[in-house]
Each structure stands twice: as C-alpha cells, then as structure tokens.
Chains A and B, each alone.
Chain A
Amino acid sequence: MTSPIDKLVHALGKLPGVGERTATRLAFFLLRAPKQIAKDLSEALKELHDKVKLCSVCCNIADKDPCRFCSGGRRDQNLICVVEEPSDVSAIEKTGAFRGVYHVLHGALSPLDGIGPEDLKVQELLNRLKDSHPKEIILATNANVEGDATSLYLARLLKPLGVRITRLASGIPVGGELEYLDASTLSKALEDRREMN
C-alpha cells in the first residue's frame, strides 16, 4: 500500500512551482500542524469544483449562476467590459471605478499556444448581445501583442452590431515619474495625449 504521505507529496508535486522537495515539506507541515489546518484545506478543495461555476452570462467564475454582477440589477448592463481572465475582473473591481458588467474571454488569441477564437468565450459574447443591447463595449485585454490582436478581432466582429467600442488607454501609470518610464510606454502616452480643458 502507498503511504498517505507519499500520496500527498505526489499530488502536491503536480502544482505549478512546487517541486518534490517543497511538496515533501508541505506534506510534513500538514502532518505536524494542528489538525484543523488540514481539515480546512481538504474541505476547501472539495468545494472548489462543486461550488465554483462559470456564470452563464459573463463567463466569470462565480459561486452562483448568474453571478453577482449579472444579477440583482445593481450594475449598469449597458456597459460591458471584456477582459482576458477572471483575475482581471478582480483587478478592475478593486478600482471601484467601474459600475458596468463584465465578459471574461478566458485567454487571448495566440496561434503559438494553439488558441483561436473558438477557444475563447467569443460565441458566448455574441449570444449575449442578441438579447441585450449595451451602449458600449470596453475592450480591456492586455496591452501586449496578443491582447491587441484579440481586441482587434472583437472590434471587427462587433462593429456591424452598431455598438460603441472602446479600448482601454495605455500610458503613464498614476504617480509615475517620466524619467523611469520605458520608451515605448512613454511614446504610447504621447500618441494618446488628450486635450486639457
């Protein structure tokens, strides 16, 4: 019979960034630490796949369907912010500056990784737009080559629908000092400069 320790080490070793040594250390920690720690962890793990779902509207991970953004009528359904990952939603939520709803693509276009439009939640976005008619869609994919290509793809796809499409601005971070900025960020900021009133 395999020892439970070996079994745990083997399972932990499959996590990203965890090698066999770290896995062994973690396993022995869990063995020696108060039982409650291991119990909490095992319960959290058990619940993970049972209780976490994708919202059928915005494809964000949620504990209920539709998620808290898409239901309850407290958010502005006229404004959809399209992001690559669920973690991007958390990042935007932290700002407290956005009152609209989200759409999570779960990735960006990247032929190198074999990711095409059909691997992203694009069809879900189109289905969603059949029923609702938002005023604006904000493309908030990452400001790199793949994020830009994904936004361009969506912009072309959504344009015939007649909805206003915007792209997140890129440039100087707030509190950023010009002298420490890299050249391309600074030149992007120059390009996208705006009128002062």
Chain B
Amino acid sequence: MYLKALSLKNFRNIPEASLSFHEKFNVFVGANAQGKTNILESIHLLSIGRSFRLADYKGLISWEKTEAFVRAWLELPIGEEERTIQLTVEKKKTFKNGKGVSPNQFQFMPIVLFAPEEILLLKDSPQARRDYVDGLLIKLSAIYEEHLRDYKRALTQRNKLLKDELIPKEEKKKQMTLWESPMVEHGSVLIKEREAWMNKLNGILNEYYKIIGHDAKSAQFAYSNNVNLEEFSTVQEAKREEELERKASLVGPHRDDFKAQLDTHPINAYGSQGEMRTFTLALKLSEIKLFEEVLNQSPLLLLDDVVSELDEKRSAYFFSYLQSYTAQVFATATALSLFPKDCLKEFRAWEIRQGKPFTF
C-alpha cells in the first residue's frame, strides 16, 4: 500500500497543491512556518480521520475560507482507491471513489508519526501517556475503541453524579452503583488489552533500546494499573465513601499509568537527556514493529522534523533503518543536507514556501 498522489485545497496555509509521491521516500524542506507539517497532517487526516495537532477539524480550513479538501490516490493490493475528505464549517464528509461513505469504510492505512514533542511524553502527565497508549491500541486491537468509548461514557456519568450537589447522599450511593457495572465490564477489557499489548511492546522495546543505545540496561514502558482485574469490583465498592467525599471516581483504568523505566528506575527522574531520546526512538520503532507483526504490513511513516532531534549515534542507526525500510516515508526537515546521501538515492523532494510546494 502506498500513497500515489495528494491534492489539497484551502488546507491550513496551503491554498492549492497537487503532489505526486515517490513510492519510498518523500521529503518536504523549508524554513519554519511555511507549511511542511501541514502536509504530514493532511496525510494523517486521510489515514486516521483526524489531525494529530487539533481536536477540532475546523481549524484545518484556511483562514476566511468556508471549505477545504484533502484528496488522495492510494495504491492498494486490490487496486487504486481515491479518498476525499471535505471539510466545511458545518461538517466533515468522506468519499471513497467519489461516493459518500463513512470513514470506517476506508481501507485501513496504518501510519506511525514521529514528532519532536514526543520526547515530552516521558515527562508529561499520566493522562498524556494514557492517550498515547489508547491511540495506539485503537489501531492495533479490533475491540479496544468501543470499550474505551463506553467506559469513558459510564465514568463521565458517574463523576457527574458524584459532583451533583442537589442529590442527597443516600440517593447518590444507590445510583453510583448503576454506572459501576458498565465501568467494570468495559474497564476489564481495557485492563486486559493494555496488559497484553504492553507486554508485547516491551519485549520489542527492550531489544531496540539495547541496539540503538549500545546499552545493556533493560528498557520498559511498564504498565502500572490502578486496579487489578480480579479486585476491580471489590476495590470500587470499598472506595465509595471516599469517592463521595472527593466527588470523583478513583478506581479504574482511567487512573492507569505507563512508566518509562531503565532497569526499573524511572527515566524521567534518573535518565539523561540522551537516554530519553533513545527510549523515545526505541518506542516509536517498537510501534512500527507491532504493526508489522499484527497487520503483516509496514506502516507509512510521518517524520516531522525528526532529523534535528537526533544526535550522531542515534541518527546513524535511524538512517540505516530508514534505508532498509520497505514502506513509504514522508519527512520534513529544514534542509535536504540533513539527510545522509545514502538515504537519498530514491526519493522526491519539495521545498515549501508560504504554503506552496516547489519540486527540487
């Protein structure tokens, strides 16, 4: 599977653009704030149906325009597919080969994004790490998304109930339990899935960390669950009083964390800057490997300004990895010279100036 061509209209700062891609390596260069990342963002939108920078798609429409288009031609094993996303202020519409469809009728296009912000993930809040893992598992597991949605729904209902000042305590106690059974039902699935997938991921992560870092330390993105599967209902019951007091649900996978560790020491407290970068890179490569194992297919890579983030040791490994990578790659950089010559044997490059792509 690869992206043959892309056409954009009124997307962010890009008034109009048509790009026809190389099967393997595509580079967008240019100064900052010219629109390089916007192109990656449009590809991400075509794959996942949403942006990686914005929750609300309306911000993707160019300033003072009412409508934006993202259209792509994909080469699939079963033939060519044209997919279009039309964004208007009112709604987002998706089309497959010219016919209106719901986005889940698109052939799934696996994608892995490398963004400079990701190193922050290790230092960020548990919420950010949960969002990262959820985003990954939604793509890997067929059942995860629906259980996550229903779990969050029940949780929000229960929290709202706990916060309601008008309902007497005894009545609250009665109604709290109504939302507990869906929380246990769907939450148990989340715990099981997180456990299983993190186990798989960690096996791979540890290998990559050793290779990239030339370091014998054992690297883990350890799943630290708030409650064990078998004890979910009993702990939930035991905490009811405290929950009424604190007006929030305290038990369940919504309070899980994932802890980046080297030899069981938390990396955000004890790790060096270099160790954190190596860890992040190893994590992303593990993500790719998981896709390959589960889908039997390499994901498309979106590399947003990654080269500037790598030091010599890591970039040597990363570029040799890219050279032998079989699926399509899209990268942004401030200059083409940041890529080693070996990487640029078969490629196409554009310079982006004020939202307009110029071929090299």
Interface residues, chain A, with chain B CB atoms under 8 Å away = 109-112, 116-117, 144-146, 148-149, 152-153, 182-184, 187
Question: Contact mask B166-193 → A, CB, 8 Å, 1/0?
Answer: 0100010001001101100000000000
B155-175 near A? 1/0 per residue, CB < 8 Å: 011101100100100010001
B160→A109 contact, CB < 8 A: no
CB-CB < 8 A to B81: which residues of A?
none
A15 CB, min distance to chain B CBs, angstroms: 17
> Bound complex: CA of A183 vs CA of B137, how far in Å?
14
Picked from A112, A117, A184, A187, the residue with its CB within 8 Å of the CB of B157 is A112
B23 at the interface (CB under 8 A from A): no
Size of interface on B: residues with Cβ below 8 Å to A? 20
Indicate if the CB atoms of B182 and A184 lie closer than 8 Å.
Answer: no
Q: Is the CB of B181 within 8 A of A184?
A: no
* Cα of A116 to Cα of B150 in the assembled complex, Å: 19
Q: Within the assembled complex, what's the spacing in Å between the Cα atoms of A184 and B182?
A: 14
Report the minimal beta-carbon distance from A45 to chain B, rounded to whole angstroms.
Answer: 29
A140 and B306 alpha carbons, distance in the complex (Å):
54
For residue B147, CB closer than 8 A to chain A, the reply is: yes
Which one of A112, A117, A187 lies within 8 Å of B160 (CB-CB)?
Answer: A112
- CB B236 to nearest CB in A, in angstroms, measures 15
**A residues near B154, Cβ cutoff 8 Å:** 145, 149
Scan residues 11-45 of chain B and give those whose CB is less than 8 A from a CB of chain A: none
Task: Choose among B142, B147, B150, B161 the residue that contacts A111 (Cβ–Cβ < 8 A).
Answer: B161
Q: Is the CB of B146 within 8 A of A184?
A: yes
Whether, in the assembled complex, B239 has its beta carbon less than 8 Å from a beta carbon of chain A, the answer is no
| Chain B: minimal CB distance from A184 (Å) | 4
Closest CB of chain B to A172's CB: distance in Å?
A: 16
Q: Which residue of A lies closest to B156 (CB)?
A: A112
Q: State whether A183 touches B164 (Cβ < 8 A).
A: no
Chain B residue numbers with a CB within 8 Å of A117 are: 175
Q: Which chain B residues border A145 with CB–CB below 8 Å?
A: 150, 153-154, 157, 179, 182
CA distance A153 to B153 in the complex (A): 17
Knowing that A149-B154, A153-B178, A184-B146 are A-B contacts, what are 16 other residue pairs whose CB atoms are under 8 Å apart, sorted by A's residue number? A109-B157, A111-B157, A111-B158, A111-B164, A111-B175, A112-B156, A116-B171, A116-B175, A144-B150, A145-B150, A146-B157, A149-B178, A152-B181, A153-B175, A183-B143, A187-B143
The 5 closest A-B pairs by CB, nearest first: A111-B160, A111-B161, A149-B178, A184-B146, A183-B143
Q: Is the beta-carbon distance between B146 and A182 smaller than 8 angstroms? A: yes
Q: CA–CA, A117 to B167, complex, Å?
A: 11
* Chain A residues within an 8 Å CB radius of B150: 144-145, 184
Residues of A contacting B: mostly? helix
Which of B143, B156, B158, B178 lies at the interface centre, i.e. has the most chain A CB atoms within 10 A of its CB? B178
Residues in A with CB closer than 8 Å to B167 are: 116
| B178 pairs with A110, CB closer than 8 A | no
* Contact between B147 and A184, CB atoms less than 8 A apart: yes
Asked if A109 and B146 sit within 8 Å, CB to CB, the answer is no
CA distance A14 to B349 in the complex (A): 54
Chain A residues, CB < 8 A from B146: 182-184
Q: A109-B175, A111-B164, A116-B167 are in contact. Are A149 and B143 (CB under 8 A)?
A: no
Contacts of B142 in A (CB 8 A): 183
A153 to B176, CA, bound (A): 10
Closest residue on chain B to residue A157 by CB atoms: B174
CA distance A145 to B175 in the complex (A): 14
* A184-B153 Cα distance, complex, nearest whole Å: 15
Distance from B131 Cβ to chain A, minimum over Cβ atoms (Å) = 21
CB distance from A121 to the nearest CB of B (A): 17
Across the interface, do B182 and A148 meet the contact criterion of CB distance under 8 Å? yes
Give the chain A neighbours of B160 by CB distance below 8 A.
111-112
Give 27 A-B contacts (CB < 8 Å), ordered by A residue.
A109-B157, A110-B157, A111-B157, A111-B158, A111-B160, A111-B164, A111-B175, A112-B156, A112-B160, A116-B171, A145-B153, A145-B179, A145-B182, A148-B181, A148-B182, A149-B154, A149-B157, A149-B178, A149-B179, A149-B181, A152-B178, A152-B181, A153-B175, A182-B146, A183-B143, A184-B143, A187-B143
Chain A residue contacts of B147, Cβ below 8 A: 184
Bound state CA distance, A149 and B182, in angstroms?
8
Contacts of B164 on A, CB cut-off 8 Å?
Answer: 111
A184 to B164, CA, bound (A): 32
CA distance A109 to B154 in the complex (A): 11
